Each structure stands twice: as structure tokens, then as C-alpha cells.
Amino acid sequence: MSEIRLYVSTTESQAEAILDLLTEVFGEEDFAIGTTEIDEKKDIWEASVYMMAEDETDVRSRIEAALKDAFPHAQLSREVIPNVDWVAKSLEGLKPVRAGRFLVHGSHDRDKVRPGDIAIEIDAGQAFGTGHHGTTAGCLEVIDAVVRSRPVSNALDLGTGSGVLAIAVRKLKNIPVLATDIDPVATRVAAENVRRNGIASGIVTRTAPGFHSTAFSAHGPFDLIIANILARPLIRMAPKLATHLAPGGSVILSGILAVQRWKVIAAYSGARLRHVRTIWRNGWVTIHFDRP
């Protein structure tokens, strides 16, 4: 199914104001929102919302209603996004990423690994997670700190994507890791990356929506749960996730915009978890909780 971009062309200052408005309208939903500079000299910017074609009618009506009062002269335009593997295309040639003791690199950058690095080889592909996004790098940093400072005997990577976080845990400590994703393509990619990194015997990959799999009860409860997805599903699953956390265990959450952090913290505090710390990277946050 096609992806649609609805956007307004305007000045930088008005684009930022429209971005704030769109964030209020869609901040708790799974739509990508952003601004892009089109022409620096002419001060032309675009404020955009991305969605699947099936959501366009509803999203368009909500944008138009929001713009009507605050920006009555704004013109809403439409673009159909080509069906391209943008993850692979946009990440081609990106440099290795360091986060904590980890170095995440593509196969073409094996020579960049230095003594003492915990190297994770991930090539750009069809699943999210190469270390370049602030949420992945933030999770790697907190994983490094948690595994070094607390006893961890098993772990869950929920929404594993490329498998990079599961691989990181396994490379830090010789413990079993369950890596799950709702997308079977991601699960397949994760399994391939696990094998590429030489640790296939320590990580189990499963396709599962949320916690709807016997794998969770079979492998849990977990001393460490990592979920780098989006704020809305993280908030929704807080009570269920907490039931799979062992006493004294840690939870690392990301995929959360800075403006959404307090709602996530409130949801997990309500599930009787303690907020330990929040780290920031490029407008995104990674939040660490534990069970006292």
C-alpha cells in the first residue's frame, strides 16, 4: 500500500508553528511529522505528515480542521511516496556509530573496529535499527550501563527490528535473549543478523504481536526488557510488560519523542516501576526504569 505525504509550503517560522499544531493533533499517534527546508534563500519550508493511503481521508480532515482556525490561508498539498526501500537507500554509505562500548558498522567498515570495541555488524536493510537513529544509539548506551552494573540472567528485545539491541545484550553478557517483532520480515532480518554476528545459539527470534505468544512465558520473566518502538504502544502495553519483568529487573524504552516522555513515565510509574533516568538524543529520549 502507498504512503502519502500531506504538507504545507510556507516560511520557516510558520512551518515550525504548524509543526507544533500538528504535534498537538497527532502527537499520540503513529504518524511521522516533520519540517524540511526547501529553499534557504527564498525561506521556503514544508511541514509534513506521513501516513498510509488508508488513513489519508481521516488525517486530511483533521489537518484541515486544525489549520482552518490557526492558519486559514495555508494550502494543503499531497504527494504519493514511491515504494522504495528507503531504509537501505538512505543508510547506504553511512559511517560506523559508537554508543558506549559498542561500534555498529556495516560489512564494508570492518576495518574500523578497534581493540576493545564491542562490534556489531548490521548492513542497511528492510528492518529498523542500524545505530544511526537517536533511539537505537540511546538504547545501546543504556544497555551498556545496565548490564555492567546489575545482574542480568535473561533478556527480552520487544520490537527487535534489525536485532541490533538483542545482539548487543548477547555480546555484552553470555545470557539468553528473546527477540520478537510483529513484522515477519523484521524477524527474518534479525535472525540473519544474529547469524552474521556469530551468536545464533544465544538468541531466539519470534514473530509475535505484543505479548501474544507462548514464547514470553516460556522464556520469562526477564531481568531486562528493551522496547524501542513508539510512545503510544509503549503506554498501552505498560501493565502487561511489567508482568513479564522479574523482581529487581530493568526496562529500557525508546522510540519516544521528548514531548511524549512524561506520559510514558506516568504509565510505567503506574505499573509500579521506578524511573531511573532519561537520556536525550536528537529530540528523542531513552528511558530506564527498574522494579525496586
For β-strands 222-228 and 245-257, DSSP reports them as parallel
Closest CA to 179 of 200, 163, 201: 163
All three cell numbers of 25, joined, read: 493533533
Helix axes 164-172, 184-196, angle to 10 degrees: 40
Mean pLDDT of 193-218: 86
18/118: higher pLDDT: 18
> Of 26-35, 112-121, 189-198, which range is least confident?
26-35
What are the CA-CA distances from residue 205 to residues 163, 237, 242 (Å)? 9, 20, 21
Q: Inform me whether the pLDDT recorded for 130 exceeds 50.
A: no
Q: Give me the domains of the chain, ranges plus CATH numbers.
A: 3-81 (3.30.70.120), 127-290 (3.40.50.150)
Average pLDDT over the chain, rounded to whole? 85
Which tens digits make up the pLDDT trace of 64-90?
999 998 898 889 999 987 665 544 554
Burial code (b: 16+ CB inside 10 Å, e: under 16) for 15-24 equals beebbebbee
Q: Residue 173: helix, strand or coil by DSSP?
A: coil
All three cell numbers of 153, joined, read: 540472567
pLDDT band at 133 (very low <50, low <70, confident <90, very high): low
Dist CA 132 CA 10 (whole Å): 30
CB 44 within 8 A of CB 38: yes
Other CB atoms within 10 Å distance of the CB of residue 204: 17
Q: Positive or negative CA dihedral for 160, 164, 169, 175?
A: positive
Q: What percent of the chain has pLDDT over 70?
A: 90
pLDDT band at 251 (very low <50, low <70, confident <90, very high): very high
Closest CA to 156 of 56, 75, 242: 242
Mean pLDDT of 155-176: 91
Mean pLDDT of 195-223: 87
Mean pLDDT of 91-95: 56
User: What's the pTM value of the predicted model, to 2 decimals?
Assistant: 0.67
Q: Residue 246: helix, strand or coil by DSSP?
A: strand
Q: What percent of the chain has pLDDT over 90?
A: 38
Mean pLDDT of 31-54: 83
